[in-house]
Structure 1
Amino acid sequence: MEVIHIYHTNDLHSHFENWPRIYELLRERKKWHKEAGEAVYLFDIGDHLDLSHPYTEATKGRINTKLLNKEQYDAVTIGNNEGITLSYEALDHLYDDALFDVIVANLYMSDGKRPAWAIPHQIYETDQGTKIGVIGITAYFERLYELLGWKLTEPIQELSQQVEALRGHVDIIVLLSHLGINDDEVIATNYPEIDVILGAHTHHIFHQGKLINNNLQGAAGKYGYYIGHIELKVDDSKNIIDKKAILYDTSKLPIAHEEKAIIENYYLQGKQALAEKAVTTDAHISREVLAKMLCEKLVSWCHSDCAIINEGLILNGLDEGDVTYFDLLSICPHPINPCNVTLTGAELKEILLDMKAAKWETLPVKGLGFRGTLMGRMISAGITREIIGEREKFYIHSKEIQADQEYIVTVPDMLTFGNFFPSIYRATKKDYFLPEFMRNILADTLRDKVKA
């Protein structure tokens, strides 16, 4: 009987505060298993990086590749944070120095060729001759990849092709899936050839795995709170006779050697790398004023009729003096892009009325690219109001909004991914602006203010 160990991480999102303990556990376990003559593999299932961390922002994710190299990972797949928060050039060079395989079957260049750094699957062979086929698949944000210059194919169709390519050539198939729990369960039901699915994207947690048919699913949540471990036992005929999954809670692991210093060093190196001056302000600017300035800038920057944003996009104000790129990241850390949404006047007026609700200011928000805590008050630019008796009128360019007329409204892309305003969420015409984040546009806004 052969024992095979697979350790997996996912959705770290550059939460390096948990990385020293992850590093020490994996290094120790790898040593144990090799001394016992057992096979061991390390996989990451995407979203290892997040540009909200200064070191990741400063290096465009190259520090994340360096950390994965140091821990001697065998393979990774990409998540949406690698795929659509980096520019084309940054992603294309993210893995230049990688010592591991980057497995992503459904990503291509615009000409239909695979990027040189990506492969659709890999076959690993243990010392005892067991062949493990590993496939990687990433979430289907087709339009956003296209805007950045990539071509993304439908993941399930690509998965079928890779399973067929491995059929008869391997003893075990493992899927690195950055698709989310719902798609993983569908795959487990429809692809009995796949023995293990290591999941990500929806930050789900399986403390002891989840068995669907003969497929074992493993998922380790987010932010490095857990490390996943799959153990497979294989007989002499290369059949899996036992499989189990477990998660290790990093908060319960021993404190890593020089843990605090390592974590602080990651942050300080990022801060120093982003110390270049972006602009100089002649007075303190409050959070509310910055949000208003950004909202107004979006109208001209995106060539729209009006703009709507949530004040929670800006976390703090700016003091008088030099403003660095680190300062901009600190007050606007979100990987959120602007998006032009086409709405009817009736839909727009419904949103403008709903925006006045007190709930927005204290509404907690997680995910959708948002790296703050509260939604914040909803504000607009390019729109004026007039109250006549009991009736409230709305105007764009001094003309009253007409119910059946179409308007181009700029919003943070998070409003198109989450169902905060149904008409925005359901809109059929959405034009995203990539790769610029809100903080990049805020920097332009501040520069314009200084010039004025």
Structure 2
Amino acid sequence: MRITIYHTNDIHSHLHEYQRIARYMADYRSLLGHPSLYIDIGDHVDLSLPVTEGTMGKRNVALLNDADCDIATIGNNEGMTLSHEALQTLYSDANFTVTCANVFDDKGALPENFVSSIIKNIDGVRLLFVAVTAPFTPFYRALDWVVTDPFEAIKAEIVSHKNEYDVLLVMSHVGIFFDEMLCEKLPEIDVIFGAHTHHYFEKGQIENGVLMAAAGKYGDFLGEVTLDIEDGQVIHKCARLHALATLPEVETDFDSEGRALLNEPVIAKPMTLDSATHCITKVSYLLAESIYEFTEADCTIINAGLVVKGYRHKQLTEYDIHQMLPHPINTVRVKLSGRKLKEIILLASQNEYIHQHAQGLGFRGDIFGGYILYEAGYIASSQRCFVKGREIIDEETYTLGTVDMYTFGRYFPLLKDEAVSYLMPEFLRDIFKEKLLRL
């Protein structure tokens, strides 16, 4: 018996590319001559696309329905950029099974419309699918979710379904290093469908007898795994990728759809908000001030590149503000000593990344830009640092209001180990919009 499993991951709302994938499956899946499934390994939703923002991900779910998806799991974008309530209703109209074994509410219940795992019986062969997502614990806790250890969650599902399945398949939105560890510790797994780290394998990769398959990011590839099964055992398994360039062209207009959904004017009067990455502008100053006020901090640091687009003499709509600040980035409140705050201010003063292209960590812009300090400053000649006009005292505790991307270790490494409060689910654009309404 032969089974083909198509798989996608980390689409991140690149919906035009996804529709090319869907068209290919619609054209060729029925021609296989043997059973097939289609699964998605998470981060299909990304609120940086207006049509996704305007529907809180439900447009993505509708497209998965149209593509005859059989099983999907969540990535950090579904789990951490949607509010608790939005995730609870995201899959209300899904025609496919949603599974994840390591996300629960405070009472230990799975999100609405989720199952912890699923067994698909295809012509008498029982396929157990177990899915897990990356354990970004502080973010999930801020949204009233509990995320557990993905490895322990997989083991628990395997034990609970002992003797109930023939083929073991893991949908992992945890990353390649986790998947490699799984291969070593759980060699009974037949296939790991990987995601999160945007890696891909042109022909799969076998580690310790386990086939790892992954399809990159943004719809660059459609993955295809073929299993040959006899007497309930996989006797042959292989993987391949279909590159986007080889898939059918389609016509879509998701941008117009998003504009229509977010066409509500935010403010009555036209505004001029020019953006720049190399200097402070009115809009970047207002953004810094809005974060300062929202986080109730002593001072704020942001980078100018967060403002992706500016406007001149424009009555701003929800769409405009979304385009200005398209990131799924939240603010944070960090408690730290004066000594460490001075280190951060002095590091920011070097503007090491002012002209660099940046990607990842939720950033949806291009150039990182220079740092903007609000209620903080320094005198370069004497290396003295100030908050609210007073020189910083090493032993005192200060509150820094900033963005979550600075806490992941790249830009300000020392923040990674500080006491951080993640303020969710409000994005920068939500905070900035409220600021504009108060002007």
Secondary structure of 1:361 counterpart: coil
Pairwise CA distance, 1:386:
4.1
Query: Which of residues 224, 232, 240 is equivalent to 2:234?
Result: 240
Pairwise CA distance, 1:247:
0.6
1:409 is matched with 400
Pairwise CA distance, 1:322:
1.6
Pairwise CA distance, 1:282:
4.6
Secondary structure of 1:137 counterpart: strand
Asked whether the 8 Å contact 2:89–2:112 carries over to 1, the reply is no
Identity %: 35
Secondary structure of 2:68 counterpart: coil
1:171 is matched with 166
2:335 is matched with 342
Asked whether the 8 Å contact 2:301–2:374 carries over to 1, the reply is yes
Structure 1 distance, partners of 2:289, 2:324, is: 18
Q: Is 1:285 the equivalent of 2:280?
A: no
2:421 is matched with 431
Pairwise CA distance, 1:55:
0.5
Structure 1 distance, partners of 2:105, 2:346, is: 44
Pairwise CA distance, 1:316:
1.8
Pairwise CA distance, 1:413:
0.2
Asked whether the 8 Å contact 1:231–1:244 carries over to 2, the reply is yes
Asked whether the 8 Å contact 2:335–2:398 carries over to 1, the reply is yes
1:274 is matched with 262
Query: Which of residues 285, 293, 309 is equivalent to 1:300?
Result: 293
Secondary structure of 1:433 counterpart: strand
Asked whether the 8 Å contact 2:87–2:111 carries over to 1, the reply is no
Asked whether the 8 Å contact 2:345–2:378 carries over to 1, the reply is no
Structure 1 distance, partners of 2:203, 2:384, is: 57
Note the residue ranges of structure 2 that are not aligned, 5 or more in a row: 276-280
Counterpart amino acid of residue 406 in structure 1:
T
Query: Which of residues 385, 397, 410 is equivalent to 2:388?
Result: 397
Residues 323-365 of structure 1 deviation map (CA, whole Å, 9 limit, x = unaligned): 1010011010000000011222222212212212243211221
Aligned ranges 1:27-66 → 2 under 5 Å = 27-33=26-32, 36=33, 38-66=34-62
1:442 is matched with 432
Q: Is 1:366 the equivalent of 2:359?
A: yes
Query: Which of residues 100, 121, 125 is equivalent to 1:125?
Result: 121
Counterpart amino acid of residue 247 in structure 2:
L
Residues 217-270 of structure 1 deviation map (CA, whole Å, 9 limit, x = unaligned): 0000000000000011112x2211111000110122232xxx23x2x2x21111
Structure 1 distance, partners of 2:383, 2:157, is: 58
Aligned ranges 1:132-281 → 2 under 5 Å = 132-235=127-230, 237-255=231-249, 259-260=250-251, 262=252, 264=253, 266-281=254-269
Secondary structure of 1:323 counterpart: coil
Structure 2 distance, partners of 1:190, 1:385, is: 52
TM-score, reference length from structure 2:
0.96
Asked whether the 8 Å contact 2:346–2:378 carries over to 1, the reply is no
Counterpart amino acid of residue 435 in structure 1:
P
Counterpart amino acid of residue 156 in structure 1:
F
Q: How many residues align?
A: 434
Structure 2 distance, partners of 1:282, 1:61, is: 30
Residues 301-330 of structure 1 deviation map (CA, whole Å, 9 limit, x = unaligned): 111110000111101222224210100110
Pairwise CA distance, 1:281:
4.3
Q: 1:63 to 1:118 in 2, by over 3 A?
A: same
Counterpart amino acid of residue 7 in structure 1:
Y
Structure 2 distance, partners of 1:267, 1:321, is: 19
Q: Is 1:13 the equivalent of 2:6?
A: no
Structure 1 distance, partners of 2:49, 2:17, is: 13
Structure 1 distance, partners of 2:333, 2:154, is: 33
Pairwise CA distance, 1:369:
0.6
Query: Which of residues 70, 74, 78 is equivalent to 1:78?
Result: 74
Counterpart amino acid of residue 334 in structure 1:
H
Q: Is 1:382 the equivalent of 2:370?
A: no
Q: Which runs of 4+ in 1 moved over 4 A?
A: none
Q: 1:116 to 1:397 in 2, by over 3 A?
A: closer
Asked whether the 8 Å contact 2:219–2:244 carries over to 1, the reply is yes
Structure 2 distance, partners of 1:179, 1:58, is: 27
Pairwise CA distance, 1:188:
1.2
Pairwise CA distance, 1:137:
0.5
Counterpart amino acid of residue 423 in structure 1:
L
Asked whether the 8 Å contact 2:376–2:388 carries over to 1, the reply is yes
Asked whether the 8 Å contact 1:345–1:401 carries over to 2, the reply is yes
Pairwise CA distance, 1:17:
2.0
Structure 2 distance, partners of 1:208, 1:112, is: 39
Pairwise CA distance, 1:279:
1.5
Pairwise CA distance, 1:144:
1.2
Structure 2 distance, partners of 1:41, 1:282, is: 51
Counterpart amino acid of residue 122 in structure 2:
T
Pairwise CA distance, 1:66:
0.3
Q: Is 1:327 the equivalent of 2:326?
A: no
Please, what is the CA RMSD of the aligned residues? 1.3
Note the residue ranges of structure 1 that are not aligned, 5 or more in a row: none
Counterpart amino acid of residue 273 in structure 2:
I
2:3 is matched with 4
Pairwise CA distance, 1:397:
2.5
Secondary structure of 1:115 counterpart: coil
